[in-house]
Amino acid sequence: MASLSVVAVVLASAIFLIKYLLLDPLFLTPLNRIPGPQGFALTKWRLAYEDWKGTSTRTIHQLHQRYGPVVRIGPDQVSFSSLAALRTIYGPGSKFGRTDFYRMFDVYGRQNLFTFHSAAEHGQRKKLLSHAYSKSVVLRDRSASMVEEKVRQYMALIDAEPDHVSEIFSTLHYYSLDNITEFIYGKYGSTSALEGSETHRALIGDILDPSRRKLSWFTVHLTTVTRWLYTRTNTMEMLVKPLLPMQKPATYTGIREFALQAYKNFRANMDISEKEDVTPLEEADGSSILERLWPYHQSNMTDGLDDMEIASECADHLLAGIDTTSDTLMFLIWSLSQPGNTGYQEKLRREVIALSDGSLNSHGLPTAEASDKCAYLNAVIKETLRLYAPLPSFEPRSSASDCVIDGYTIPAGTIVGMSPFTLHRNAEVFRDPLTFDPDRWLGPQAAEMNRWFWAFSSGGRMCIGLHLAMAEMTTLAATIYRKYQTTLAPGFENITPGITARFEVFCDDRFSKMLEHTCLIKFEELGGHG
């Protein structure tokens, strides 16, 4: 009898495993109608392996080219590449929320605008911030003056470079860092990397370690294990040290400490103001993000924020505002500096040189408002973002209820999404999709291409920093090409720069040689302008 019981247990276990590992993912789910490789449908670890190699975005793109606009990329994960799916998943009123994947971007143990799952939570927080990031605010007064001053400092930095050759991956990071810290923290945490502060420049190094990608992989795919490893102390901390995907201090540690100290500086000033019976913010202009959030600090309102919630929100905006802007500007300058793209650079130069005196500030440089109106410059930026979106990867979402997308039944809890990388390389929409061609945005086909353009996401989750990023990019690019002609520095020909995004390194895949986090450009001064 005992042997029969053992056999029954083994048989039941085998049946359960067959059902769970084989029948459920391949046959007993509505997702079995969706095309895709069986290896991906069987286990989530097949796609995780692509993440490990740093090839998941390109692999998903290839699967779409093979199987069409709907591809199953996991037992409960589906990738789309149609406009209908874009509207359903990310459009206004969508019932799809952000998945637990985004919790890796929590700061100080608190959620923020980027990591909230529900539209209600996100919308409640966003309404506290949206005015500060609106185009009308960014292009006037303090914000515009701030960007214009950072542009002036960047030009001074380039002027001082030996032979006017700059490693622009670094210098553009200094530019975006100085802009975003002043915009968020004002006098309590603004950096001066452009002016040579080694302490502030070192903050950029905090995000460049290649093992950052390995840590991201462990955080997403082995969340509990990773959390356990990094919370060990004393003897156990020493024992697990060789197992850490990235040695301490892990990525973002320095920047997050800097951001927290900036908040503490601000909070200390508020405490002093209250003790001295001075109205908080009385001496401030109230225009930094930190100052705008303070009135909601532990208020009796339903959206009141405690110290760490404000600190988390500000730190998240800081981290989001560095790489995205600087990487796009780097690829813009690098693309225009290609020998085959001199015609595009010349068109841009003619546009910005034609700016009237009324479009220049007191330093004789283009204003943020005038730069924003340069049509060809905007086309150049849009084409750069199309090919080299700073966040080109799959953007996961999930819904608590069943739905139908592109004719397929999607069960509740299924992870769905799409990527700018694939949308922007649709050959039926973008002629010669791998070719850098800003002119494409000026023709009659631009209206249709705009429907597929997704560099800033869409709907309620659209990038809140869009207008600030555009002001930084248009003002600097207009100023550079009024004064300089840019070319690839000697020795950097036939090399593509590479940037890090989550698990992957992205570059121009048409080039055989890539240098991560490096881009050397020669700035040759023009006569008669600047």
Question: Which positions make up the binding site for heme?
Answer: 463
Distance CA 276, CA 283 (A): 13
Cα separations in angstroms, 126 against 95, 310, 461, 470:
17, 13, 9, 19
Distance CA 5, CA 1 (A): 6
C-beta separation of 321 from 132 below 8 A: no
Distance CA 17, CA 25 (A): 12
C-beta separation of 488 from 522 below 8 A: yes
Tokens at 35, concatenated: 């095309």
C-beta separation of 524 from 485 below 8 A: yes
- Residues tagged in the binding site annotation: 463
Alpha helices in 78-118 (DSSP H): 83-90
Residue identified by tokens 């600087």 is 326
What angle, 0 to 180 degrees and rounded to 10, lies between the N-to-C axes of helices 466-483 and 323-336? Answer: 30
Amino acid at site 98: R
Query: Which residues fall within 8 angstroms of residue 219, CB to CB, at 6 or more apart?
Result: 104, 226
Count CB-CB contacts under 10 A for residue 454. 22
DSSP state of 35: -
